[in-house]
Chains A and B, each alone.
Chain A
Amino acid sequence: MSAPAITSGGTGRTKGLLLSLRGGDAIAHLVALLFASSVLFVTLFLVWELWIHCAPSRAKFGLSFLFTRDWDPANGQFGALPFVYGTVLTSVVALIISVPLGVGAAIFLAELAPHRLSEWCTFLIELLAAVPSVIYGLIAVFTLIPLMRQYVEPFLKHTLGFIPFFSGPAFGDGYLTAGVILAIMTFPFIISISREALLEVPRDQREAALALGSTHWESTIQVVVPYARLGIFGSVFLGLARALGETMAVTMVIGNDTNIHTSLFARGYTIASVIANEFAEASDDLHLSSLIELGLVLFLITIVINALARLLIVVTAGRGTGSAT
């Protein structure tokens, strides 16, 4: 939506002084348009480059690439399933941990905390979002992995070991650990955006519920949260999109196993991790092409999730107070 376009009237038929002013405007418009269009150009070019560079594997495997389990560079067999599985599994584990905690914290910060405390806490949590991924990975390798190996995983195995998800050897790294570090990385998004969504809920909604005799919690959970649910879902999707594309922290703790395992303690692989590990020395064209095709698959997944997220957030903002995003 462009700023008020109150320019001198006419459609270019003016002459003399006005003409020279017009020229300046046209140039400015053109220059700005060019630079803005670069985004279009770059993004489309990116998709194009990915598409043509994965031609060998697309030709050889077709759509079955997405459903094959085999990843065997030595014998020219490539399949995306273990990586899609790992990517989705770790992200789901991350969300299972971070959504309850995050939404809970958002509720506290929006409803209960004194204003200054809420501002400060949000500020600190948003700083978490700025921490580079490799730093999370560094800390995960030296603190989280031993913690998981020595305390958390044996405890889970002891109590829930009858469930296939919690059985098998546990060495501290693997799907579960990757999910935990991803959860930590998605906290800021979920908390910050959910809190905003909750703050947008009009006072009269809460007050109406309280006037009818509900407790604070009841008004929150039965009125406020449902009112803000689209924004909260949006934040979840954004967190999911971030988790799916996360590379460094996950690569450092996932264990790099190209097979599919049921146990959460097992080592696995995600799309981003396999590209990071194998790209620099992919042995042949087919290997390289398969890695690039994996990149394309990941890209497509994140596009879809991101689009859903934006949609949800925009719809909520529109419904709220009518202020433009």
Chain B
Amino acid sequence: MNRLAYRKLVNKIMLTLTGVCTVLTVSVLFIVLGYLVFNGATSIDWAFLTQLPKPTGETGGGMANAIVGSAIMVGIAALIGLPVGFLGGIYLAEFSGKTYGFLVRYMADLLNGVPSIVIGIFAWTVIVVPMHTFSALAGGFALSLMLIPITMRSTEQFLLNVPRSLREGALALGAPKWKVIGTVAVPAAMRGILTGMILGVARVAGESAPLLFTALNNEFWPTGLRQPTAALPVMIYKHAMAPFDDYHRQAWAAGLVLLGMVLITNVTARFIASRGIAVQKG
């Protein structure tokens, strides 16, 4: 075989291989989703969504309290994390100087990179220990720490994307800077900012590690923010590792609920964002 033919063969083989890589990686997604959807769909029932867990070993019951508990803790996280991230992002985009801005960005990235279990340790030392109890507050706080850097960076990104001309127009009309931000820049970037917020919330909703020793778990309905609270991801973990077949069934159902929520949120957010960008470019 002459050199050219050899090179052409290598070309064909390697390019096919890259196609194979793509098929492999994309098919993993389908396998993951498909298997979960199949098992989850066959496992989920109305009782699952509305009832409390049954005593250990008994079949039936549900994880309604975990769904509500997750919602409460994600709500706390959003209440704390979204405003902080939003205003922090405004700072980075509109006000920051070079060095301090760099410092804040670096710290935000650092916080973003902290393993979620370490965030759990921090929330434990700061909230669980002084309060002498596991609580939804501690769980929500831990989740908010993960939400802040995500929100901050995405808010900053979308604000920076707002064209200069919009701001300059408002300033030319005599508006003070804070009015420019509040009435021109932020609304223009709102779609993107909201997308970032939704994606962030969806991400922390799926987190399990920070809740393991902050919110612990609870068999009953959430009775207060200072009580241990059940959460869906933690329930999935515990039920998957238990020996009871019915627990496994419930774990699949819970996985379906969680994954469904996360994926629907993600797809919706991206859809909103893509439409938003088209509007801005026009």
Contacts and interface: CB of A to CB of B under 8 A. Distances in A.
Direct touching of A and B (C-beta under 8 Å): yes
Contact of A280 (B28, B36, B208, B213): B213
Contacts of A306: 109-110, 113
B68 interface: no
Interface in A105-141: 105, 107-109, 111-113, 121, 123-125, 127-128, 130-139, 141
B213 A2 contact: no
B214 to A, nearest CB: 10
A48 to B, nearest CB: 10
B130 to A, nearest CB: 12
Interface residues of B, number: 99
A108 B22 contact: yes
A35 B168 CA distance: 26
Contacts of B26: 105, 121, 124-125
Contacts of A53: 121, 125
A3 B185 contact: yes
A280 B91 CA distance: 39
A28 B181 contact: yes
Contacts of B36: 135, 138-139
A132 B90 contact: no
Given A39-B108, A131-B259, A303-B110, A279 B32 contact: no
B164 interface: yes
A212 interface: no
Contacts of A107: 18
A276 B203 contact: no
Given A3-B164, A221-B14, A138 B240 contact: yes
A263 to B, nearest CB: 24
Contacts of B117: 245, 247, 272, 275-276, 295, 298
A112 B203 contact: no
B164 A4 contact: yes
Contacts of B120: 279
Contact of A36 (B7, B96, B162): B96
B8 A215 contact: yes
A221 B14 CA distance: 10
Interface string B1-38: 00000011011001101111110111011001001100
A276 B115 CA distance: 12
Contact of B262 (A125, A131, A139, A241): A131
B46 interface: no
Count class of interface residues, chain A: 35 or more
Q: Is the interface of A mostly helix, strand, loop or mixed?
A: helix
Interface in A205-255: 215-218, 221, 241, 244-248, 251-252
A130 B202 contact: yes
A105 B22 contact: yes
Contacts of B7: 215, 218
B121 A295 contact: yes
B216 A280 contact: yes
Nearest to B261: A132
Contacts of B145: 42
A21 B173 CA distance: 14
A321 interface: no
A36 B11 contact: no
B266 interface: yes
A144 B92 CA distance: 44
Given A3-B93, A248-B209, A37 B104 contact: yes
Contacts of B148: 38-39, 42
Contacts of A101: 21, 24-25
Interface string B137-154: 000000001001100100
Contact of A27 (B15, B21, B149, B178): B178
A244 B207 CA distance: 16
B96 A252 contact: no
Interface of B: 7-8, 10-11, 14-15, 17-22, 24-26, 28-29, 32, 35-36, 39, 83-84, 87-88, 90-98, 101, 103-104, 107-111, 113-122, 124-126, 145, 148-149, 152, 159-160, 162, 164, 167-168, 171, 176-179, 181, 185, 199, 202-203, 205-209, 212-213, 216, 233, 236-237, 240-241, 248, 251-252, 255, 258-259, 262-263, 266-267, 270
18 contacts: A3-B160, A25-B177, A35-B88, A36-B152, A39-B152, A105-B24, A121-B26, A125-B29, A132-B208, A133-B206, A133-B207, A134-B237, A138-B236, A245-B113, A245-B115, A248-B233, A279-B121, A295-B118
Closest 9 pairs between A and B when the two form their complex, measured CB to CB: A132-B206, A245-B115, A104-B21, A32-B91, A28-B178, A35-B87, A108-B18, A36-B91, A215-B11
